[in-house]
Amino acid sequence: MITKDGKVGIGTTDPKNELQIGPQFVLHSKTSNYIGFNCYWVEDAPKYMSGGYSSIIRLGRNISFGVTDITGSENSPLNINYAMNITDNGNVGIGTDLPNAKLDIRGKIYVKTDDDAILTFDNIDNSWQYIEFKNSGVRKIWMGLDDINNFQIVKENGGNI
């Protein structure tokens, strides 16, 4: 089905965006580039197709993956929570739109493994390798290896550990 305004529907007679496949899958590329499930765009404002969860992939200079809750009803505005973002420089953010490192996670982390190595640090130039513990952005304690492989635990501003 092709509508008078140029929208294409496959498996639907009333496509909501440029391309809609079936009742809930759309592609939008007029003001932004999105792939959506259970949502559509009016200008650049996303809306629910029907009640329930929606999923979105935003494409462009950065790539974002988003999900929504089920509080919306049909044709109501959609509140998108972009849970994961990949920036043009290769940084990956989970829980943040603007990751500051190759992997930037905002929130709790749970790691479970059957292997003996859970977290490995490896560098090729014998530079320092350490973990920092911060409070409100200020380093309080760090521990790790210095450039001659001495293990250190250091509390900032002195004091006992």
Quick one: average pLDDT of 12-24? 92
Quick one: average pLDDT of 120-131? 84
With a pLDDT cut of 90, the percent of the chain lying above it is: 38
pLDDT of res. 21: 94
Quick one: average pLDDT of 114-131? 83
CA–CA separation, 85 and 146 (whole Å)? 33
76: phi then psi, degrees, rounded to nearest 5 = -85, 160
Would you place residue 20 in the very low, low, confident or very high pLDDT band (cuts 50, 70, 90)?
very high
Quick one: average pLDDT of 66-93? 85
Q: Would you say residue 149 has pLDDT above 90?
A: no
CA–CA separation, 83 and 66 (whole Å)? 5
Query: In 3D, which of 52, 58, 89 has the Cα closest to residue 74?
Result: 52
Q: What is the mean pLDDT of the chain?
A: 87
Asked if 74 and 51 touch (Cβ cutoff 8 Å), the reply is yes
